[in-house]
Homo-oligomer: A and B are copies of this chain.
């Protein structure tokens, strides 16, 4: 016997499908919503519905946008010969906030992850390769800004391999973000791998 009205149970189920939200959090969110004014819930629902219809993918970099090309790809003052490859559109926000990057982006919308059935064809690798091949002006450098885990490394390796196969005539520099100590981080508390990378990547003053 269930003690909750079916509509409450179903909304809890919908929230549980979201990442990082377990059964208890979902329950808490739904009961919070039940105390919200009807108009606010309806506004929330309308925004959810508009989420897909009000957005599109940029045909150049594949980010989520409301204009095609997106504001970065359509910006003539950005360096279009420099492509930073990221996993998610949100990574673009993080990099833009640094103010230190003037190139363009390419969003893979995921990384190769065989355990979760995500192969190269499920993410936008072909679009990246085609883009590099047909780029005018030619692409000068590709910066990989993927998370440094197994899946990220595998994705970089796969793309690099495809890249050497397809673009024997081009000379494109391939780089990746530096690993090292985070700013303000104590050497004492750094893990060995990070410290090893920081040593390997040491720079002259």
Contact = CB atoms under 8 A, between A and B. Distances in A.
A84 to B, nearest CB: 14
B10 A64 contact: no
B49 A42 contact: yes
A65 B14 contact: no
Nearest to A92: B3
Interface of A is mostly: helix
B34 A52 contact: yes
Contacts of A92: 3
A50 B7 contact: yes
A55 B8 CA distance: 8
Nearest to A25: B20
The oligomer's copy count stands at 2
B20 A54 contact: no
Interface in A9-27: 10-11, 14, 17-21, 25, 27
> Interface residues of A toward B: which range?
35 or more
B51 A8 contact: yes
Contact of A7 (B4, B35, B55): B55
A47 B49 CA distance: 12
A48 interface: yes
A44 B14 contact: yes
A52 B42 CA distance: 10
Contacts of A71: 1, 3
10 contacts: A4-B64, A6-B54, A6-B66, A18-B33, A20-B25, A20-B28, A33-B48, A38-B52, A41-B49, A45-B49
Q: In the A-B complex, list the 5 residue pairs whose CB atoms are closest, starting with the nearest.
A: A5-B66, A7-B54, A45-B45, A45-B48, A11-B47
